[in-house]
């Protein structure tokens, strides 16, 4: 069974390859980014499975997966990742990927999953696919009160104090105090800087 394994983390890639090559009949070709994958596809006989790391250089999210699936169809292509979410895994499967493997998967399960996908079956670990997505609180939210967040949201939209006061039904002088507090808490030079900090942090 011929596997093309692509991951830019050398230790992870070589560990997985070592596990696979201990099994009878496995031949593993390694690549560390998408351009190398494309070269390997041209240089070698067809692979029974292509396994791509979601975060490696050249992938550009799921567009790299689509590119390789188009290149090797109907042979299977699967994703492996240490950080991709359940939503990414679901989208990859909907696109036609052979499966999704978290890097936390046990070695024996990994080998079995690869055999399974190479035979044309779909694979994704049930515990990963059924887990609830945790809502991660943004660290900046812990610094600010709900009212300050409301004012900051208005700042990111470029509203003046008078407009903010009208929108959230407060006195203009109160808005000025909130803006002053926001700048202090965010270590911002002025209201524009505070809005930039919020936007760059992906708060809104």
- Give pLDDT tens digits for 47-78: 999 999 998 999 988 999 999 999 999 999 99
With H, G, I as helix, E, B as strand and everything else as coil, classify residue 53: strand
Which residue is it, tokens 């610094």?
143
Strands 27-31 and 49-53: unpaired
2-130 CATH fold: Rossmann fold (3.40.50)
Token couple for 85: 């979410």
**pTM higher than 0.85:** no
Q: What is the pLDDT of residue 135?
A: 47
Residues of the chain with pLDDT under 50: 134-136
Cis amide bond preceding 74, omega within 30? yes
d(Cα 55, Cα 83) in Å, to the nearest integer?
8
Contacts 24+ apart (CB under 8 A), 137-145: 138/201, 138/202, 138/203, 140/186, 140/198, 140/201, 140/203, 141/203, 143/185, 143/186, 144/182, 144/185
How would CATH label the architecture of 139-200? Orthogonal Bundle (1.10)
> Where are the domains positioned within the chain?
2-130, 139-200
């Amino acid at each position: 069974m011929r596997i093309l394994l692509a991951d830019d983390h050398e230790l992870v890639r070589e560990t997985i390859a070592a596990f696979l090559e201990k099994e009878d009949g496995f031949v593993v070709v390694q690549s560390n980014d998408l351009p190398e994958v494309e070269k390997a596809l041209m240089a070698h006989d067809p692979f029974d499975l292509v396994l791509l790391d979601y975060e490696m250089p050249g992938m550009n999210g799921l567009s790299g997966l689509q590119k390789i699936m188009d290149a090797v169809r109907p042979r299977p292509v699967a994703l492996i990742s240490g950080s991709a979410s359940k939503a990414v895994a679901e989208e990859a499967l909907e696109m036609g990927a052979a499966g999704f493997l978290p890097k936390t998967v046990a070695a024996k399960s990994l080998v079995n999953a690869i055999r399974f996908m190479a035979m044309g079956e779909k694979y994704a670990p049930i515990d990963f696919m059924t887990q609830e997505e945790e809502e991660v609180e943004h660290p900046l939210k812990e610094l600010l009160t709900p009212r300050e967040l409301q004012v900051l949201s208005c700042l990111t939209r470029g509203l003046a104090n008078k407009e903010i006061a009208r929108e959230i039904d407060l006195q203009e002088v109160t808005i000025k105090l909130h803006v002053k507090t926001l700048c202090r808490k965010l270590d911002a030079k002025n209201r524009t800087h505070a809005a930039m900090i919020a936007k760059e942090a992906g708060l809104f």
